[in-house]
Amino acid sequence: MCIRDSHIAFTCEDFKSYQGARKCRYCKDKIEGAGASSLPAFLNICKKADCAALMQKACDKVLACGHSCFGFRGETKCLPCLNEECVKKNPALTRDQKEDDYCLVCYTSGLGDSPSLMPECGHLCHEDCLMNRIKKRWSGPRITFSFCECPACRKWASVPNHPEITKEMKLITTLYEEIKKKALERIKFEGLDKDKRLHDPADKFYNKPEEYAMTRLCYYMCFKCKKPYFGGLKNCENVNEGAKEFKEEDLVVVLVFLQAVQEESWIVQNMGKNLLNLNADFAVLLHNGFAGEQLIFVNLALTNKQKEIMLANVPFQ
């Protein structure tokens, strides 16, 4: 008795037959008769529904070496060949990654088991895996950007020849720049720009105020206005980053409503003109759902007396 993949048993004769047969490049089963398509690039794809669905997403080109491209449908530039023999000839083209190597995002199946792509960093992964990872965004309440990084090298996973991923990455970049600007202003407001870590040549944050600000400060996405807001300092490495369940509707910036001239005058006199800007930058209260049903002042340096007067006199939602 011969064993393939440690769980499918063959007689020796059957195994020899399997080895010499045409096999589906996705499910690896033997193809009897015609495959799912007559196109040269798809001759080794069976008619099973799952395999046929993957074929519809796959590049339909044959490479100069004669092997099918393992890229995605509509790509403007084909992937280098992932066939083991071709990779051996020029391993630098794929960072020595072959069709049987695991996708760097899912780590559950080989690159050849689903249409794949190569971000600018040169590491390979499945198209669907990277697309799903990017669309899901961050995993916890705190906005982080590791989801758009290559799992292998931590560089941003930009794929210029993939229009949908490029569109998503553009939105993410805009959000990142917005938060970075807020964070750089905030560390000055908090006095953190004087932190010795920024001025110590031996520290990882030396002369890196942007990286320091994005690491030390926590920003969240308001469920109502869909704008990022400052939610406090990050005091430990795992604060609010995916380990804790949360409800998006609990992340709400509570804005001050200026409904009367006397209220406006009071605010200008006691709190400063910044409060007249009704946006997340100058929001007064954060409805903190994952810390209980309480209201916490987060964005302004208010005295206890000012907080009491604000709660008693200024209408908010």
Q: How far apart, in whole angstroms, are the C-alpha atoms of residue 65 and residue 90? A: 12
Q: Are 25 and 68 in contact (CB under 8 A)?
A: yes
* Diameter of the chain measured on Cα atoms: 93
Q: Is pLDDT of 32 > 90?
A: no
Q: How far apart, in whole angstroms, are the C-alpha atoms of residue 104 and residue 127? A: 11
pLDDT score for 191:
87
Q: How far apart, in whole angstroms, are the C-alpha atoms of residue 316 and residue 56? A: 52
pLDDT score for 6:
41
Beta strand 8-10 pairing with 2-4: antiparallel
- Mean pLDDT for 281-296 is 35
Phi, psi at residue 135, to the nearest 5°?
-70, -30
User: What are the CA-CA distances from residue 205 to residues 145, 232, 297 (Å)?
Assistant: 18, 19, 28
> pLDDT tens for residues 163-214?
999 999 999 999 999 999 989 988 888 889 999 999 999 999 999 999 999 9
pLDDT score for 230:
82
Number of H helices, E strands in the chain: 8, 9
Cross-strand partners of 116: 126
Give burial (CB, 10 Å; 0-12/13-18/19+) of 204.
Answer: exposed
**If pLDDT is split at 50, 70 and 90, which confidence band does 19 have?**
low
- Average pLDDT of the chain is 76
Q: How far apart, in whole angstroms, are the C-alpha atoms of residue 265 and residue 255? A: 17
Q: Where are the beta strands (DSSP E) in 63-221?
A: 116-117, 125-126, 217-221
User: What are the CA-CA distances from residue 59 to residues 5, 28, 142 (Å)?
Assistant: 27, 19, 37
User: What are the CA-CA distances from residue 13 to residues 17, 22, 106 (Å)?
Assistant: 6, 16, 35
> Tokens at residue 35, please?
């495959």
> Tokens at residue 143, please?
């906005």
User: What are the CA-CA distances from residue 173 to residues 156, 167, 169, 184, 264 (Å)?
Assistant: 10, 10, 6, 16, 36
> pLDDT tens for residues 41-81?
998 899 899 999 999 999 999 999 999 999 999 998 999 99
What is the total residue count of the chain? 317
Beta strand 251-254 pairing with 228-233: unpaired
